[in-house]
Amino acid sequence: MMTEIGVVMEPVPKCSAEMSSLIEDMGFDMVLCPDTQNLSADPYGQLSLIANATTTLRMGTGVTHPVTRAAAVTASAMASLQEESGGRAICGIGRGDSAAAHIGKRQATTEELRNCVLTIKHYLRGEAIDVGDMQSPIRWIDPEIIKPVPIDIACTGPKTIAMACDVADRVTFAVGSATERVGWAMHIAKEQIEKTGRTRDEFKIGAYVNLICDHNEKKAISMARMLAGLVAHFTAMKEAPTEHLPKQLKPITEKLQTDYDMKNHSSEKGDHLDLIDDEFIDWFTIAGPPQKCIDRLGELIELGLDHIYLLGGSPVPEPRDARLRAMVEQTEIFAKEVLPNFK
């Protein structure tokens, strides 16, 4: 089976639908929009527009979380998108990061995420949830009409990877683009699968991959700096293990635990970017000409990945619509010279 390849795209009003149509025409399989209210527009309105602007492209959140949206709210929104798109929705969900931090809340724990996912699944199957003295279904969801939406859990650490292998329909590592690190995550997943008794074909395993494809490698590396800082932030979270990281990268990663500039999360302005050198970028991202992207991506796919979500970059920082258009234009290099090798 071919590996599905999708694109993570900022939701931008009056722009998302048009750009998603271009992404579909390029040959990608899906587009995901982040759910982080202080940094980008609400994803669900844009995803509905994307559903109507495309015919084969799958779409969903990359990612939502339990911190700002109750399970019933997410289930209802996802069922709406599933019906609107004719069954092409994906519920990408994680513990929450920037969305929680920017309103002064903590991330959900792995157990809280697990409970949220199970509750969403109950709702999507048309089942009722015990809420105090009341049985609470989402009355309008009819699973005979609306097929349950696959739940895709984003994972950074071993506890979340193990939990996702227990309950998710899709497990997606958010650990960077190094073969060693994705291989480490895959090893944890395989160990958990053996423990639970689930078979490998019961769910999909993939990865968020930070990738900038450009014939000018220096330009690609420069654009990848922000992406490297972003994924390194996830790597540097308190519970994230660092023993498998190269020795020379550990001091930077540990420094990011205390010095990450959350107010400039996912921005080119973050003070933490001064900590990151080219070696660090090369380990956490794939940045360079098409053949380098083909080789590195091929190594990841050989680990057994069923899907890959590309986190790309834009040469234009502002305004939002120009940034998104430039990102899609940049992605076209990948679509023309790399993507055909994996289709």
Full DSSP string of 243-297: TTS-GGGHHHHHHHHHH--GGGTTSTT-GGGGG--HHHHHHH-EEESHHHHHHHH
pLDDT tier, 237 (very low <50, low <70, confident <90, very high otherwise): very low
Give the model confidence (pLDDT) of 53-73 as tens digits: 999 999 999 999 999 999 999
Beta strands in the chain (DSSP E): 4-8, 30-33, 58-61, 89-93, 129-131, 134-136, 151-155, 170-173, 204-213, 286-288, 307-311
> Is the model's pLDDT at 278 over the cut of 80?
no
Q: How confident is the model at residue 227 (pLDDT cuts 50, 70, 90)?
A: low
For the ranges 81-90, 92-101, 255-264, 277-286, the lowest mean pLDDT is seen at 255-264
Answer whether residue 146 shows pLDDT above 50.
yes
Beta-bridge mates of residue 153? 93, 171
Tens of pLDDT, residues 158-212: 999 999 999 999 999 998 888 988 999 999 999 999 999 899 999 999 999 999 9
The answer to whether 162 touches 239, Cβ cutoff 8 Å, is no
Q: How confident is the model at residue 250 (pLDDT cuts 50, 70, 90)?
A: low
pLDDT of residue 294: 98
Per-domain residue ranges for the chain? 63-149
* Reported pTM: 0.90
Q: Count the residues in the chain.
A: 343
207 alpha carbon, distance to own chain's centre: 8
Distant-in-sequence, close-in-space partners of 193: CB < 8 Å, separation ≥ 6: 165, 199, 200
